[in-house]
Amino acid sequence: MSREEEIKKELYENTLSGRAPITEKLTQEGIALGMEPLDILFDALIPALQEVGRLFEVGEYFVPEMMISAKAMQRAMAILQPILGDTGVEPTGKVLMLTVKGDVHDIGKNLCIIMLEGAGFEVIDMGVNVSPERMIDAVNEHQPQLVGFSAFLTTTMPFFKTNIEALEAAGLRDKVKVMVGGAPITREYAMSVGADGYGPDASQSVRLAKQLMADMGYDIDPEGDDKTKGGEAAMRAAVGAVENLMRKADSEHTSG
Ligand code: B12
């Protein structure tokens, strides 16, 4: 078996068992050997995640195992992402993404980031539990066209409004478009707090981001993905696999 074939096999096995440092190393080795990122994605990472989903359904895997596997895949994706997203064209736009104060859920936000970068956006990821003050500092520093707020708890979603009011108070509200999302969020809620758009999933966060850029007068086709030469489609497949997996976790996560 060639080293390339071995790498695919080892990547599959280590994603399945959730060994993130090893998936990262193997992906780096594969890329250094000249392997195609899409082959790594479709022949190793996505099949492994599909198997994780199957093991969950038959009761052999539980939420912690699924999350550890998803993390291992995300570590590998972090290496593939810039290569797949490297379109050689100017970034579509700049987006600042964060999970609001008091909230540590970041899987959904991270999936949106993977897709946005795959679609050619430059993304500044501020992580989780981000205060309105830190958000304002970052908008001043990076001057993005878009800001994306993520919240997963009914107790933290009011921070959308707090953040939007902070943007108004800082005189920045007309400089950025605000998009929001997260498990408990609805379009109605998003509109009621004064957001410019709501995205129910990672794919739609890309369409929304492009639409908002077009609304701001940038020359962008919200439906088009021609700039990314297949990278965006590959990302969509990978992100879809992780999304399905995490949604399955929902049924077991009732401790709130
Ligand atoms: C995984 C998980 C966790 C993990 C988070 C790990 C991590 N690093 O993110 C851990 C175990 C840490 C956790 C902790 C808690 N959790 Co939790 N968690 C979940 C779970 C099962 C999955 C969330 C997830 O990652 N989904 C994966 C993605 C794919 O799902 P998604 O929501 O569809 O995300 C998409 C969209 O929302 C959208 N999107 C997301 N952000 C954005 C942003 C923008 C700008 C746009 C456009 C789109 C967008 O795109 C995403 C990708 O497609 C959910 C259940 C659920 N229904 O979501 C509960 C859930 C969110 N958790 C819940 C609770 C209660 C908690 C805890 C309070 C539990 C506790 N008692 O401690 C703590 C809170 C900790 C805190 N302070 O934040 C509740 C919230 C209930 C509520 N309405 O408030 C939920 C709904 C579970 C439930 N049914 O009770 N949790």
Question: For the chain, which domains are there?
Answer: 3-87+230-250 (1.10.1240.10), 94-228 (3.40.50.280)
Does 99 have pLDDT greater than 80? yes
Q: At what angle do helices 231-250 and 107-118 cross, to 10 degrees?
A: 170
Closest CA to 194 of 210, 206, 176: 176
| 180 C-beta closer than 6 A to ligand 1 | yes
79 CA → ligand 1 middle, Å: 25
| Higher local confidence (pLDDT), 205 or 81 | 205
The pLDDT score that the predictor gives to residue 250 is 66
- In this structure, which residue's CA is closest to atom 53 in ligand 1? 201
131 CA → ligand 1 middle, Å: 18
Average pLDDT over residues 71-87: 82
The pLDDT score that the predictor gives to residue 5 is 96
Tens digit of pLDDT for each residue in 191-200?
999 999 999 9
251 CA → ligand 1 middle, Å: 12
| 113 C-beta closer than 6 A to ligand 1 | no
This prediction's pTM: 0.84
Element (H, E) at 122: strand 122-125
24 CA → ligand 1 middle, Å: 25
